[in-house]
Amino acid sequence: MEARSIAVVDDAALTNLEKLTAAIEQAWAMGNDAAVRANLQRQASHYYQARTRGISKGAPTATDPGLVEGLIDALHANGFPNVAVGSAPGQASGWAENRSVAALADLLGYRFVTPEGRDYEIVDLSEQLDFERFPAGTSLEHAGLSRAWGDADFRIVFAKSKSDEADGGALGLVSLFGVLPLADKRLHYRTARSAGEVIADLLDTAPVHFAIIDATTSTHGSGGQRLPMPIETGTVIASASIVLADQSQPLRWLSTLSASNCSPTSSNDNPIPERYSVRGSLQTYPGWSRVSSRIKWTNHYRASNPGFET
């Protein structure tokens, strides 16, 4: 299956939920995504992952829970009722109270029931681990992967559009660290291992079938995720390829995907197509401030020297 299309919806006349619906419909309709549609139609079990970075409702670095619940309602309406939201604990869970996956979801505004009255489950992806999932010789061999994520029939990643002081931007590929079980993501998956190899191994073992980026509000500037600076960008992006979904944002940021340490170094199921189509605008966001090259270099140096980590 080759996914060669990106939908970028930023029509100011639409609500955010309408932008989400339009982006999904356009991504299904374009390019060579017929195989993806057929896969979705025949599967009985679905799984959905949202990156839940932030500590309070409205956090600019977290995917909008209202859009997540809107997606769940849309899946139900189209005959796919088995939907869950999942993430694994982050680094803050080791030193702060009320940072479990369920507690954090509650703080961020997840209500465990959609506006249409559909209940959904919040799943901790650090539980029910399969330590034999990754092949021998890969960077994640014996690292463990949640059976809920690995056994899902259909995996959707719904990322937030945000700058990152190390990678320039943190989008769908970076959000995949939230699937992995160990809380200290930077230590275990970005310092002890190559981030690109980790992402490639994860995609090859448990491919992402669809990717959405919530860019209704983004964060920009050199503060990255440590000191997020929100900016209204009014956009929703969708693609059957998580790599292509990520590709759209750096083009709008006057940056490049290849600058990210999290780009897959190799992936059998998720290569970057040589040619692909884009429906929508890739013009730079008005007022956008990208991460400075000096800040990115400093963070790369710190990451390669663990003694400097704070």
> pLDDT per residue over 16-27, tens digit each?
999 999 999 898
Helix, strand, or coil here: 235? strand
* pTM as predicted: 0.86
Q: Are the C-beta atoms of residues 282 and 251 closer than 8 Å to each other?
A: yes
Q: 157 pLDDT exceeds 60?
A: yes
Asked whether residue 36 carries a pLDDT value surpassing 60, the answer given is no
Cα-flanking dihedrals φ and ψ of residue 76, to 5°? Answer: -60, -45
pLDDT (0 to 100) of residue 257: 43
DSSP 189: I
Quote the percentage of the chain above a pLDDT of 70. 75
Q: Which domain holds residue 97?
A: 5-308
The DSSP bridge partners found for residue 83 are none
Position 256 scores a pLDDT of 47
Max alpha carbon distance in the chain (Å)? 51
Mean pLDDT computed over 205-211: 91
Task: Count the domains in the chain.
Answer: 1
- 77 pLDDT band (50/70/90 cuts)? confident
Predicted confidence (pLDDT) at residue 284 exceeds the cutoff of 70 = yes
